[in-house]
Amino acid sequence: MRPLTPEKEIAALSDRYLPELEISLKNSIPVSDSNFYGLMRYHLGWESVEGTSTKSDTGKRLRPLLCLASCEMSGGDWKSALPAATALELIHNFSLLHDDVQDGDQTRRGRATVWSIYGVGQAIAAGNAMRVVADQALLNIKTSNIDHMSAVKAGEELTLRYLEMIEGQYLDMSFESATSVSTDQYVDMISRKTGALIEASMHNGSIIATGKAGFARTFGICGRKLGLAFQMRDDLLGIWGNPQLTGKAVGADIYRKKKSLPVLFLFQHANENDKSWLTDTYRKDVISDSDLARILNLMESLKVRDFVQSEAEKYAEAAVNGISELDISPESQQKIQAIANFFVTRDK
Q: What is the pLDDT of residues 74-128, one digit of tens each?
A: 999 999 999 999 999 999 999 999 999 998 989 898 899 999 999 999 999 999 9
- Reply yes or no on whether the pLDDT at 143 is more than 90: no
**pLDDT score at 60:** 87
d(CA 203, CA 217): 6
Question: So what's the pLDDT on residue 112?
Answer: 94
Does the pLDDT at position 43 exceed 60?
A: yes
- The reported pLDDT for the residue numbered 325 is 85
Residue 239's pLDDT band, with cuts at 50, 70 and 90, is very high
pLDDT at 5: 84
Give the residue extent of every domain in the chain: 6-345
State the Cα–Cα distance between residues 257 and 298, nearest whole angstrom. Answer: 16
Residue 59 scores a pLDDT above 90? no
The rounded percent of the chain whose pLDDT value lies above 70 is 99
Q: What is the mean pLDDT of the chain?
A: 93
69 strand-pairing partners: none
Superfamily in which the 6-345 domain is placed by CATH: Farnesyl Diphosphate Synthase (1.10.600.10)
pLDDT digits (tens, 9 = 90+) for 267-310: 999 999 999 999 999 999 999 999 999 999 999 999 999 999 99
What is the model's pLDDT at position 21?
97
pLDDT band at 323 (very low <50, low <70, confident <90, very high): very high
Residue pair 43/131 in contact (Cβ under 8 Å)? The answer is no
Q: Give the pLDDT band of residue 314 (cuts 50, 70, 90).
A: very high
pLDDT of residue 15: 94
The pLDDT tens digits for 60-70 are: 899 999 999 99
The set of residues, in sequence order, having a beta carbon less than 8 Å from that of 286 and lying 6+ positions away, is none
DSSP-derived letter for residue 107 is E
- Please tell me the predicted confidence (pLDDT) of residue 2: 60
Q: Does the pLDDT value for residue 231 go beyond 60?
A: yes
Which of the four pLDDT bands, split at 50, 70 and 90, describes residue 179?
Answer: confident
27 phi and psi, to 5 degrees? -70, -20
For the whole model, what pTM was predicted? 0.94
Q: Are 134 and 91 a contacting pair, CB within 8 Å? A: yes
* Rounded CA separation 162/114 (Å): 21
Helix intervals (H) in the chain? 6-28, 35-43, 62-73, 82-103, 114-118, 120-139, 148-176, 183-190, 196-210, 213-240, 243-246, 252-255, 261-269, 272-283, 289-301, 304-323, 330-345
